[in-house]
């Protein structure tokens, strides 16, 4: 479930008024960049990167020594103790798997690898026969959780890339709140959470439109936002253009009427996962899911000659 994050830029409104010092910390993590912007804070870059390093040590599929990589190498039918962080994200993933009727499924790590969307690079895309063979070892429904332990009932590989980045955003936000920082914005690779205000004005960012139109201004009132899309990062297979997101039920690249999905939530990890699922399911099912869960969502639909913006629960 490769995630494409397509925020054009941040529209940091509210530059006028107030004289509180603004701190901006930037760096690299999870194969992308991060920005932490705070008002009147003494939280250091070292403290932030310690949090992000721990997230990587837990969830990275690129690091063979990460907790997730070690879990993927464990045999099936064996109970394994895991960290509270990994257990929490896996339990939330199972919940979202049910809510999205399987469109969010981090148990498809083997399929992600064979397509070359993860840490494993491939020379050519798989055949339909290869995909069909791996489907039987590709679902989070073959994972059991119980009191801090997990058991794979089949030899599945987990890939949490469509939720772990959002979890990292939430963890940095948690650090800031622990240090009594009330006004901040945290961004990792386009996943964002905002708290309070920037010099008396709400944090506002722009969602890029594929046709080059004015970015869609979105105000964050103590909210997170995540975007998934297909018009920056795509590939051609069997003479058709596809996004780097799979349909878990088929193991094939998703082919829907959506150019991008932006989801607002109280947690970045939830927004992250829902955005991926909605891209895979298409606009009709995404609209139904947003209404059922009361999610604020911005859909950009592919039209025959242009794009259409649809806002749900704005």
Structure confidence by residue, pLDDT tens digits, 164-205: 999 999 999 999 999 999 999 999 998 999 999 988 889 999
Q: What is the mean pLDDT of residues 235-263?
A: 83
pLDDT at res. 16? 39
Q: In 3-state terms, the chain is what percent helix, strand and coil (to 5)?
A: 30, 30, 40
pLDDT interval class at 9 (50, 70, 90): very low
Structure confidence at residue 121 (pLDDT): 84
User: Band of the pLDDT at 248, cuts 50, 70, 90?
Assistant: very high
Rounded to whole angstroms, how far apart are CA atoms 191 and 214? 20
- Which residues, in sequence order, are CB contacts of 90 under 8 Å at separation 6+? 82, 140, 143, 145, 150, 158, 160
- For 100-148, what is each residue's pLDDT tens digit? 999 999 999 999 999 988 888 888 889 999 999 999 999 999 999 999 9
Assign a CATH topology to domain 7-312. Answer: T-fold (3.10.520)
The per-residue pLDDT for 118 is: 85
Bridge partners, 10 (sequence order): 205
| Tens-digit pLDDT profile for residues 14-51 | 333 455 678 999 999 998 999 999 988 889 999 999 99
Q: Is 125 exposed, middle or buried (0-12, 13-18, 19+ CB in 10 A)?
A: middle
pLDDT of residue 236: 67
Average pLDDT, the chain: 89
Residue entry with tokens 């039987």: 136
- pLDDT category at 6 given cuts 50, 70, 90 is very low
Q: Which residues pair with 216 in a beta bridge?
A: 207
């Amino acid at each position: 479930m490769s995630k494409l994050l397509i925020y054009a830029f941040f529209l940091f409104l509210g530059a006028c008024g107030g004289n509180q010092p603004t701190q901006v910390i930037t760096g690299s993590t999870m194969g992308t960049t991060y920005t932490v912007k705070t008002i009147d804070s003494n939280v250091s870059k070292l403290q932030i990167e310690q949090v992000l390093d721990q997230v990587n040590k837990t969830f990275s599929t690129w690091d063979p020594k990460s907790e997730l990589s070690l879990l993927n190498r464990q045999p099936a039918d064996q109970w394994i103790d895991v960290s509270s962080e990994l257990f929490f994200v896996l339990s939330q993933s199972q919940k979202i798997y049910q809510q999205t009727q399987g469109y969010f499924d981090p148990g498809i790590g083997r399929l992600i690898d064979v397509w070359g969307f993860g840490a494993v690079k491939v020379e050519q895309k798989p055949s339909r026969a290869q995909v069909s063979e791996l489907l039987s070892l590709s679902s989070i429904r073959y994972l059991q959780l119980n009191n801090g332990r997990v058991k794979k009932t089949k030899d599945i590989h987990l890939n949490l890339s469509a939720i772990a980045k959002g979890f990292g955003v939430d963890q940095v936000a948690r650090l800031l709140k622990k240090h009594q920082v009330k006004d901040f914005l945290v961004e990792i690779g386009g996943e964002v959470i905002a708290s309070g205000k920037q010099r008396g004005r709400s944090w506002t960012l722009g969602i890029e439109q594929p046709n080059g139109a004015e970015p869609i201004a979105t105000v964050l009132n103590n909210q997170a936002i995540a975007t998934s899309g297909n018009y920056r990062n795509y590939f051609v297979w069997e003479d058709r253009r596809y996004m780097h997101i799979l349909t878990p039920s088929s193991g094939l690249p998703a082919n829907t009427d959506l150019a991008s999905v932006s989801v607002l939530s109280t947690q970045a990890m939830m927004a992250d996962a829902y955005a991926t699922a909605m891209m895979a399911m298409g606009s009709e099912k995404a609209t139904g899911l947003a209404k059922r869960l009361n999610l604020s969502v911005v859909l950009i639909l592919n039209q025959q000659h242009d794009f259409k913006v649809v806002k749900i629960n704005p």
